[in-house]
Amino acid sequence: MPRASHFNQHPAFPEDVALADLPRLSLTKLLENDAFESSQLFRACKETGFFLLDLTGSGAGETMLDDAEKVFDLSRTIFGLESEELERFRFKPKESLFGYKRIGTMKLEDGSPDNVEFYGLGQDDMLGTSTPRPNPELILANRKTFQDMFHDAYGIICHLFSHLEHHLSLKPGILASLCPQDKPSQTMLRMLRSAPHNIGNHRTNLIGHTDLGAMTILFNVVGGLQLLPAEAENVEGNWVYIRPEPGCAVINLGDAMVQWSGGILRSNIHRVVTPPGQQASCPRDSLAYLLRPEAAASMRRLEGGDIIPRVADGEQEDSLCAQEWERMRTAQIVAGNSLPEIIGGQKV
C-alpha cells in the first residue's frame, strides 16, 4: 500500500520468511493495453488468483494511492474511538457485514475466537444507492473521501475486468455489468485492525477464507496476510506471506469469478496471522475494497467462446443469485467453516 512514509513507521518486514511468488503488474502498462502485461494478468488470475498491482506512474493509480492513504489514516482514527461508541454501529452478520465487528466475535478453524476488529462501510450507503446507515460522525464528515475511494477502486477493477473479458472471449463490459456501482450490492470498504502480539506469540487473526465477491483490492503496510499455494495441503508450514510493497495494492479474485468462469479463474484461500518478525508488536491496519456482484446477479457460468467450458448435460449449476449465495457463505464464515463446499463444480 501507499507510500514509503507509511512503511517507515514500522519495523521492516523480515527477510527470512517464506513468501508467495506473486507477479508485480503495472497498472500503467495495463492501461496502455500492453500485451505482455495483460497475458501475465490472465495467467496470475488462473494460477494464483492473487497479484501485486503497482499503482505508481498513472493518473488513476496515483489518485487511488492518495485516496487510500487518506482512508488509511481515517481508519486508524476510527479504531481509536471508544469501544462504546463503535458498538453503537455493531454489525449483524445475518443481515450483512456492514458496521463494526469487535475482536473475538467470529470463530477460527479450531473454534477459538478471532483477533481482528473491522468496520464495513457499504458502497450503496456511501454513494446514496440505499438509505443511509448509521455511522460514526467521523465517517459522515469524511463521506467525500470515502466516495472517492469507492470510485477509484471500482474504475481500476473495471479496467482489470476488461483484460479478463478479452482473454476469456467474453462480451466486453459483461463483468462490470454484473457488478454495477449504482445498483444494490454488498460491495464494501472494510477497514481492519488486528491487535499487537508479543513477539514469538504466533496466532491466526482472521480465519482462512476465500472472498465471496468478484474482486478485492487490498492495501497493507504491515505483513501478516498469507496464502496457501495452489495444490498445497492446508498444514501450518505450507502458508506463505505476501509482502506489502509501497505503491502497490494486492489484488485477489473472489468466488464469483470462479463461478462465472466455470473454474478457469482462481479464488485463493488466504488468512491474516501475527505479523512476521519485529512487526508482530505493531497493531496491523489494512483496507479491503471488496467488489461484490449486484444482489440480483446470477452466479451461473457465463457463455463465451471456447475458453470457458460449457455446462455439460446433466451437470448441476448453482441457481442462487448473488445475494442468496453470499448469505449462505457469510453464515459459514462466521461459524468458522470458511471454505465453500463447491467452487466451479470442484471440491476444495
16 phi, psi to nearest 5 deg: -105, 30
Is residue 267 near ligand AKG by the rule CB under 6 A? no
Give the nearer residue to ligand AKG in terms of CB position, either 170 or 214: 214
- Binding residue for ligand AKG, selected from 148, 211, 255, 326, defined by CB under 6 A: 211
Residues contacting 77, CB < 8 A, separation 6+: 138
Q: Which does 225 bind (CB under 5 to 8 A by kind): ligand AKG, Fe ion, none?
A: ligand AKG
CA dist 231 and 42 (Å) reads 19
Is residue 149 near ligand AKG by the rule CB under 6 A? no
- Binding residue for ligand AKG, selected from 126, 218, 265, 333, defined by CB under 6 A: 218
Q: Which does 220 bind (CB under 5 to 8 A by kind): Fe ion, ligand AKG, none?
A: ligand AKG
Q: Which does 286 bind (CB under 5 to 8 A by kind): ligand AKG, Fe ion, none?
A: ligand AKG
Task: Name the H helices within the chain.
Answer: 4-7, 27-31, 35-47, 59-79, 83-87, 123-127, 137-141, 143-167, 174-178, 255-260, 322-334
DSSP designation for 301? P
Is residue 204 near ligand AKG by the rule CB under 6 A? no
DSSP designation for 126? H
Give the nearer residue to ligand AKG in terms of CB position, either 270 or 301: 270
CA dist 333 and 210 (Å) reads 10
CA dist 346 and 231 (Å) reads 13
User: How far is Cα of residue 288 from the mean position of the Cα atoms in its chain?
Assistant: 5
73-81, 218-226, 291-299, 306-314 -> range binding ligand AKG (CB under 6 A): 218-226
- Binding residue for ligand AKG, selected from 139, 153, 192, 322, defined by CB under 6 A: 192
Pairing state between β 204-209 and 270-273: antiparallel
Question: Residue 89 is which amino acid?
Answer: F
Shortest reach from residue 270's CB to ligand AKG, in Å: 6
Is residue 190 near ligand AKG by the rule CB under 6 A? yes
Give the nearer residue to ligand AKG in terms of CB position, either 164 or 272: 272
Shortest reach from residue 244's CB to ligand AKG, in Å: 9
62-70, 76-84, 158-166, 217-225 -> range binding ligand AKG (CB under 6 A): 217-225
CA dist 75 and 287 (Å) reads 8
Give the nearer residue to ligand AKG in terms of CB position, either 27 or 227: 227
For 299: left if phi > 0, alpha if psi spans -120 to 50, otherwise beta; the answer is: alpha
Contact between 55 and 65 (Cβ < 8 Å): yes
Is residue 270 near ligand AKG by the rule CB under 6 A? yes
Buried b (16+ CB within 10 A) or exposed e, 255-272: bbbbbbbbbbbbbbbbbb
Shortest reach from residue 294's CB to ligand AKG, in Å: 20
Helix axes 143-167, 35-47, angle to 10 degrees: 90
Give the nearer residue to ligand AKG in terms of CB position, either 253 or 272: 272
Give the nearer residue to Fe ion in terms of CB position, either 26 or 123: 123
- Copy the grid coordinates of residue 134: 448509521
Return residues touching Fe ion (CB under 5 A).
211
Is residue 291 near ligand AKG by the rule CB under 6 A? no
Is residue 78 near ligand AKG by the rule CB under 6 A? no
Per CB under 6 A, residues contacting ligand AKG are 190, 192, 211, 218, 220, 225, 270, 272, 286, 288
